[in-house]
Chains A and B, each alone.
Chain A
Amino acid sequence: MAEPTHSPRFLRDPEEWVLYLAKEQPRRLVVFVHGFNGRAVNSWNQFVAGGKERPEWWASSDLLFAGYESTTDTITGVAYRVRTALPRFYPNLAGDLLEIGGVRVREPANGPYEELYLVGHSLGGVIVRRVLCDAACAWEDELAADSGAPRPPMLDARTRLFSPASKGFQPAGWLGALSASGAWPLLVMQLRRSPAYTSLQPGSEILTRTEQRTAAHLSGPKATELGALRASILWAQPDNVVEAERYDGDLTDYFEDGKNHRSVCKPQPQKYTKPWVFVETGKV
């Protein structure tokens, strides 16, 4: 019987986050941020099974699944939560997170993680971009006061996005199909009560500003140290939910035929392994 390579640890602070601790000493931390109305872990389906499917990389990775309430939380609010919580996990995992009830799941590491990966899907992609953009802004402020201020550790990240909603939802996308139904007004009213949904309208201020600020950082004097702001992207093809358009500064993007907006980020052992490969390498 195959022994799981990770053990889940449910976190109360931040609430609804789940940390999958690798059984062996990890080399890296991979942080997942789900999309609109998703769940911390479920939205990523079998990513945890990477420890068995591709053990050389995933068995030595701790996996942190960030949960949030997309129907009530704002993009900037979640981004702030991620940015302020992440130092508890990276570069050094807080020791208390290795223990439950006074029992330690593995020995503490001798040093910090070697690598950080930030992975976002759909709305989660926008949140990841905002986290990094805000971290870069904060560093810029620190540099203004102290030219030797060190780069924040989270800017070490390699950024992987699955069908990010960076340019917003398609106006005639999935909701368009429902617009002919009698249910449409109620659905719209429900969705408009969600601040994140409102922010995902194409051309919204938050989407525009996040892109503009990211571009400004990538053309600034510290651009070479801000590789985290250059995302690798895997789009669903067809994707009828978001506008499949990357930022100018992003790395190469890829399209996955036969996957929809929802399924593009959900690996399946032996059937659809590209999400694992994409997170590992930024390529497919």
Chain B
Amino acid sequence: MSAEPAQFRLRAFEQSMLDAMNGVVAAFLHRREDRRGIAMFQGVLAAESRRWLDLGVDNGYFTSEPSVEREVVFEPEYWLEGRAELDPRPYFLSPYLVFGPVDFDGELVAAVTDLGRRDRVEFLYLLFFADEEAWEPAAAAVSEVAGRLAEWPQRQLPDSLLDRAEWALTGSEPSGIAKDCPANWRLAAPFHQELDAEVFASAWRRWATLDPWLRSIAQGAWASAETTASELAYPSRIREEVTRPRREIF
């Protein structure tokens, strides 16, 4: 049996996008105790997948009435328990644009591949959803790195410490993600203010607890190093930090 391209794409979407999201969720459920944070993360990913479907229909990427055979898998007890208060809408303020099927295709692939990396997912979880018990040790590891290097810039730090701080250095990648695509919430803080004000303020408070120059590195890493190989070296947001005397940075 052959498929019409649209039907094929719907199946590709079901299989790949939902599997990626389920994979993210499953990985966290097995590792984390923060059930409410995980449930919220699930809800936002589910809302994002729904938006991709709607946008795909608008673009003629899917058949006109897609019936999704599989949904993002939730752990019912945690999801249902707090469903009334777990509203993903604050993460999706801006209406997405109607772009062409080729653009949609590219952005969807970017969104799926972007979810496939552990460090980036960790970054999203910690910044947006984690409770304080999960956030504080993660932020403390970054602060410890900053503190040790401030004392003695050339010292070698143990791998175990760098591993714990790595989440801040390999975040999500903004390049290639269209401004108003459904995955944009992942890039919203600290670069944009397109989230609900309360969500943004919360994420920004967390982000702001990081030492300034580490934050700037994380932003650079967030923009991806190869990218930015050049961008890491010369971007305006880092140039400002680089050219400031260190005593003002700390």
Contact = CB atoms under 8 A, between A and B. Distances in A.
**Which secondary structure dominates where chain A touches chain B?**
loop
B189 to A, nearest CB: 21
A36 B2 contact: no
B117 to A, nearest CB: 8
Nearest to B234: A177
A105 B155 CA distance: 55
A8 B230 contact: no
Interface stretch (A39-47, A150-158, A210-218): A39-47
Interface string A63-77: 000010111000000
Interface residues of B, number: 66
A34 B176 CA distance: 15
A100 interface: yes
A100 B15 CA distance: 8
A261 B230 contact: yes
Contacts of B117: 69
Given A175-B233, A193-B159, A37 B224 contact: yes
Contacts of A42: 109-110, 113, 173, 175-176
Interface string B164-200: 0010011001011000000000000000000000000
A186 B145 contact: yes
Contacts of A49: 102, 106
Contact of A187 (B166, B173, B217, B231): B217
Interface stretch (B79-87, B201-209, B241-249): B241-249
Interface string A96-136: 00001111111100000000000000110000000000000
B149 interface: yes
B162 A241 contact: no
Contact of A4 (B16, B102, B113, B156): B102
A193 B225 CA distance: 14
Given A36-B225, A181-B213, 18 more contacts: A3-B60, A7-B5, A7-B8, A10-B20, A10-B112, A15-B116, A16-B116, A39-B176, A40-B113, A100-B12, A101-B14, A103-B7, A105-B8, A181-B241, A182-B250, A185-B153, A187-B217, A262-B229
30 contacts: A1-B59, A1-B100, A1-B101, A3-B5, A3-B60, A6-B105, A7-B9, A8-B109, A10-B15, A15-B116, A23-B5, A39-B110, A39-B173, A42-B176, A48-B102, A67-B113, A70-B226, A100-B8, A103-B3, A174-B233, A174-B234, A178-B238, A178-B242, A181-B238, A183-B213, A185-B155, A186-B157, A190-B162, A193-B159, A262-B226
